[in-house]
């Protein structure tokens, strides 16, 4: 589908949103579980393990009940990937088959945004580097010696950056890409003397992708055995945050999700070797220690992590540093023990997938790792040494979010250290930062599956509950409901939020003949939209009996509300004639509700 040339920007945005499957797209970034008519997942915008992220396809929006993050599908991609609006729009559009005309990148906002330019620069450079590698036999030789086959090389778009900048600059010029874009992307560095240089010059280059398929940065490995530093990475930028970047995650995501397990490696080459051996649920942390942000991203897909690091001192240190963020996120860990003199890469090449998986299966758990680190059999440890190992383990285990898991690990460690059971106590740790249990939302009355989304923590005053139930029914049965409401004055409702929501909903119904939640939510100011999200979505039941009973309930609710209004007026009325008229109306209403005709 190509929008006609006079389509306005707004039309295109509307079209993209209309056609995008918000559940599928957000589901790319985090697992979503269906809960009634909506989907729940762990919010990526705050640290949490509970599923407070709520995706409502009927409205085309997501909302986190804990941190408040919310918006439409474009906003999600924009915030998650840290893209400009136009780039996020393009990323979403690409999945719907709608083309976003090139000019929007220039016309919107009066100039191409910096991140967009940097992305264009990365793409251009990656293409250029991968052409150059074909012309650099010594680089291809090097890869062959490292056992990387051409298929893997192409899959990961490995490239070579020549020392000289000229070729890249000419390419940029011919594509009308400004020089600043290359600087913004960190491809061009500037020396203190003001001289420009190619940051990855003379290096084997590994493009790094985000989850929406954009190249956000590069890692470059020197090919000179004496070259220093061995690796350079793109500098921090709005696109590239090394504390969040996981190399290979875009390729590994599905395999990680499927296995519920991630293999963490230190180097790009380790990852390529694993991939080539057929172990595809691996990511590499590039140029930094594993952070809580990394684990927060991974923890949505993986329950377990295998820390496949070098067996040397530096590798052991990296394992130790990684434990804290993993355990704090509730991720179970396993540390394979490499034979001495081996690193992951050499081990994979010599033993293949089967040998690697065997090594993983026999890896240490947390207690095993701690014991191995102690470097002594428990029988040979002094009580003081045992105490110190136990304390170190207990301190790490304090981080575990589950009390049950924590106690289990403490017990394992105690037994491994051969400490007698009476010598340690397992008092539960007071949990910090745990959300308080809010008041429980009322269960939906009389056969309704639930009035409010439990996670929303939303609860109006008790008297207002029939009004909210009315809203819920109006949204599910607009035709029948509006008929029933014909003689009811919405302004008489007591809860102003319900009043406003019904006002908007009924106006939409009058205009379009239906109440489409996407459209309704777009018309609402934010506070109303949030309130609407808290209302459990009642899908019109296919079951006629169920529908009939719900419509009966609708009648009862309207009756209750009408009666309330009359009684309120009655008690305020001082004029006798009008008082009697109101009393007549009460009688009539009662009669009608009992099945009689007026
Ligand atoms: Zn959140």
pLDDT band at 436; cut points 50, 70, 90: very low
Report CA(525)–ligand 1 centroid distance (Å).
Answer: 20
Verify that 194 and 80 share a domain, yes or no.
Answer: no
pLDDT of the residue at 560:
87
Contact 211, 28 (CB under 8 A): yes
Verify that 584 and 498 share a domain, yes or no.
Answer: yes
Give domain status of residue 245, yes or no: no
- Residues 296-320: tens digit of each pLDDT: 888 878 999 999 999 888 888 889 9
Q: Are strands 215-222 and 159-161 parallel, antiparallel or unpaired?
A: unpaired
Q: How far apart are CA 470 and CA 480, in angstroms?
A: 12
Report CA(68)–ligand 1 centroid distance (Å).
Answer: 6
Give domain status of residue 244, yes or no: no
Report CA(52)–ligand 1 centroid distance (Å).
Answer: 7
Give domain status of residue 390, yes or no: yes
Report CA(62)–ligand 1 centroid distance (Å).
Answer: 10
Per-chain residues with Cβ under 5 A from ion ligand 1: 43, 45-46, 64, 66-67, 69
Task: Summarize the confidence of residues 52-71 as an average pLDDT.
Answer: 87
Verify that 53 and 158 share a domain, yes or no.
Answer: no
Average pLDDT score over the chain: 85
Report CA(442)–ligand 1 centroid distance (Å).
Answer: 24
CA distances, 399 to each of 234, 318, 319, 395, 407 (Å): 32, 18, 16, 7, 12
Q: How far apart are CA 32 and CA 140, in angstroms?
A: 42
pLDDT at 430 over 60: no
Report CA(44)–ligand 1 centroid distance (Å).
Answer: 6
Task: Summarize the confidence of residues 71-88 as an average pLDDT.
Answer: 87
Give domain status of residue 332, yes or no: yes
pLDDT of the residue at 448:
56
CA distances, 401 to each of 294, 391, 393, 425 (Å): 17, 18, 15, 18
Give domain status of residue 205, yes or no: yes
Report CA(461)–ligand 1 centroid distance (Å).
Answer: 26
Verify that 103 and 121 share a domain, yes or no.
Answer: no
Look at the chain and count its residues.
598
For 544, residues 6+ apart whose C-beta sits below 8 A from its C-beta are none
Verify that 124 and 59 share a domain, yes or no.
Answer: no
For 340, residues 6+ apart whose C-beta sits below 8 A from its C-beta are 311
Least confident stretch, 100-114, 317-331, 466-480: 100-114
Verify that 193 and 329 share a domain, yes or no.
Answer: no
Q: How far apart are CA 46 and CA 129, in angstroms?
A: 37
Q: Which of 75, 110, 145 is the last residue of a domain?
A: 110
Q: Which of 86, 110, 134 is the last residue of a domain?
A: 110
pLDDT at 38 over 50: yes
pLDDT of the residue at 22:
93
pLDDT of the residue at 104:
54
Verify that 390 and 495 share a domain, yes or no.
Answer: no
Give domain status of residue 510, yes or no: yes
Report CA(301)–ligand 1 centroid distance (Å).
Answer: 17
Task: Summarize the confidence of residues 380-399 as an average pLDDT.
Answer: 91
pLDDT of the residue at 248:
95
Report CA(398)–ligand 1 centroid distance (Å).
Answer: 24
Report CA(433)–ligand 1 centroid distance (Å).
Answer: 14
Verify that 298 and 359 share a domain, yes or no.
Answer: yes
pLDDT of the residue at 4:
44
Q: How far apart are CA 212 and CA 230, in angstroms?
A: 29
- At 209, which CATH number? 3.90.980.10
Verify that 25 and 95 share a domain, yes or no.
Answer: yes
Give domain status of residue 436, yes or no: no
- Residue from 203, 211, 206, 317 nearest 269 by CA: 206
Least confident stretch, 95-104, 128-137, 360-369, 471-480: 95-104
Verify that 133 and 210 share a domain, yes or no.
Answer: yes
3-state secondary structure of 347: helix
Enter the tokens of residue 185: 């992307």
Report CA(67)–ligand 1 centroid distance (Å).
Answer: 4
pLDDT at 440 over 50: no
Report CA(159)–ligand 1 centroid distance (Å).
Answer: 38
The domain containing residue 167 runs over which residues?
114-233
Q: Which of 419, 441, 474 is the last residue of a domain?
A: 419
pLDDT at 189 over 90: no
Number of domains in the chain: 4
Of residues 230 and 158, the one with the higher pLDDT is 158
Q: How far apart are CA 585 and CA 316, in angstroms?
A: 82
- Residues 13-30: tens digit of each pLDDT: 888 888 899 999 999 899
pLDDT at 280 over 50: yes
Report CA(464)–ligand 1 centroid distance (Å).
Answer: 28
Report CA(46)–ligand 1 centroid distance (Å).
Answer: 5
Report CA(69)–ligand 1 centroid distance (Å).
Answer: 6
Report CA(432)–ligand 1 centroid distance (Å).
Answer: 18
Report CA(209)–ligand 1 centroid distance (Å).
Answer: 24
Q: How many CB atoms lie within 10 A of CB 15?
A: 17
Report CA(50)–ligand 1 centroid distance (Å).
Answer: 10
- Residues 217-243: tens digit of each pLDDT: 999 999 988 888 889 999 888 788 888
- At 29, which CATH number? 3.90.580.10
- At 493, which CATH number? 1.10.860
Report CA(49)–ligand 1 centroid distance (Å).
Answer: 10
Give domain status of residue 341, yes or no: yes
Verify that 179 and 304 share a domain, yes or no.
Answer: no
Verify that 44 and 123 share a domain, yes or no.
Answer: no
Report CA(48)–ligand 1 centroid distance (Å).
Answer: 8
pLDDT at 10 over 90: no
């Amino acid at each position: 589908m190509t929008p006609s040339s006079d389509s306005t920007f707004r039309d295109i945005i509307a079209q993209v949103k209309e056609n995008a499957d918000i559940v599928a797209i957000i589901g790319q970034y985090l697992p979503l579980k269906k809960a009634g008519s909506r989907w729940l997942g762990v919010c990526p915008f705050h640290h949490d393990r509970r599923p407070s992220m709520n995706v409502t396809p009927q409205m085309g929006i997501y909302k986190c009940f804990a941190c408040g993050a919310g918006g439409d599908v474009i906003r999600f991609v924009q915030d998650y990937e840290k893209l400009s609006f136009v780039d996020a729009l393009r990323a979403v559009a690409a999945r719907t088959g709608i083309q976003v005309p090139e000019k929007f990148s220039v016309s919107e906002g009066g100039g191409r945004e910096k991140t967009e330019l940097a992305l264009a620069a990365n793409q251009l450079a990656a293409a250029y580097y991968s052409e150059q590698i074909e012309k650099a036999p010594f680089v291809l030789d090097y890869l062959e010696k490292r056992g990387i086959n051409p298929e893997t090389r192409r899959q990961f778009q490995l490239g070579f950056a020549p020392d000289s900048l000229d070729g890249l600059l000419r390419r940029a010029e011919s594509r009308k890409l400004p020089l600043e874009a290359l600087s913004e992307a960190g491809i061009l560095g500037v020396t203190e003397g003001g001289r420009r240089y190619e940051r990855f010059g003379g290096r084997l280059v590994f493009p790094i992708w985000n989850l929406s398929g954009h190249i956000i940065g590069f890692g470059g490995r020197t090919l000179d055995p004496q070259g220093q530093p061995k690796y350079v990475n793109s500098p921090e930028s709005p696109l590239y945050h090394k504390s969040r970047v996981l190399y290979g995650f875009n390729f590994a995501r599905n395999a990680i999700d499927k296995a519920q397990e991630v293999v963490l490696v230190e180097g790009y080459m380790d990852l390529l070797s694993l991939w080539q051996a057929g172990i595809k649920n691996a990511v590499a942390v590039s140029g930094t220690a594993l952070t809580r942000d990394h684990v927060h991203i991974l923890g949505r897909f993986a329950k377990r992590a295998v820390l496949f690091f070098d067996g040397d001192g530096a590798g052991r240190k990296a394992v130790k540093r990684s434990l804290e963020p993993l355990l704090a996120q509730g991720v179970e860990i396993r540390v394979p023990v490499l034979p001495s003199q081996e690193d992951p890469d050499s081990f994979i090449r010599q033993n293949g997938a089967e040998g690697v998986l065997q090594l993983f299966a026999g890896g240490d758990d947390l207690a095993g790792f701690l014991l191995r680190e102690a470097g002594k059999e428990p029988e040979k440890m002094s009580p003081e040494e045992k105490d110190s190992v136990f304390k170190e383990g207990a301190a790490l285990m304090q981080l575990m979010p589950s009390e049950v898991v924590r106690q289990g690990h403490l017990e394992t460690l105690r037994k491994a250290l051969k400490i007698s059971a009476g010598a340690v106590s397992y008092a539960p740790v007071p949990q910090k930062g745990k959300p308080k249990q809010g008041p429980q939302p009322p269960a939906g009355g009389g056969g309704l599956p639930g009035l409010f989304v439990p996670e929303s923590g939303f609860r109006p005053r008790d008297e207002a509950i029939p009004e909210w139930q009315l809203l819920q029914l109006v949204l599910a049965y607009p035709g029948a409901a509006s008929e029933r409401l014909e003689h009811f004055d919405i302004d008489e409702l007591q809860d102003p939020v319900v009043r406003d929501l019904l006002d908007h909903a009924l106006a939409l119904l009058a205009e379009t003949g239906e109440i489409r939640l996407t459209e309704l939510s777009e018309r609402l100011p934010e506070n109303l939209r949030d309130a609407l999200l808290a209302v459990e979505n009642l899908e019109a039941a296919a079951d006629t009996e169920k529908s009939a009973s719900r419509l009966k309930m609708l009648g009862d609710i309207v009756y209750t509300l009408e009666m309330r209004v009359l009684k309120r007026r009655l008690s305020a009325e001082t004029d006798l004639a009008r008082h009697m008229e109101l009393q007549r109306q009460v009688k009539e209403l009662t009669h009608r509700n009992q099945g009689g005709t007026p």
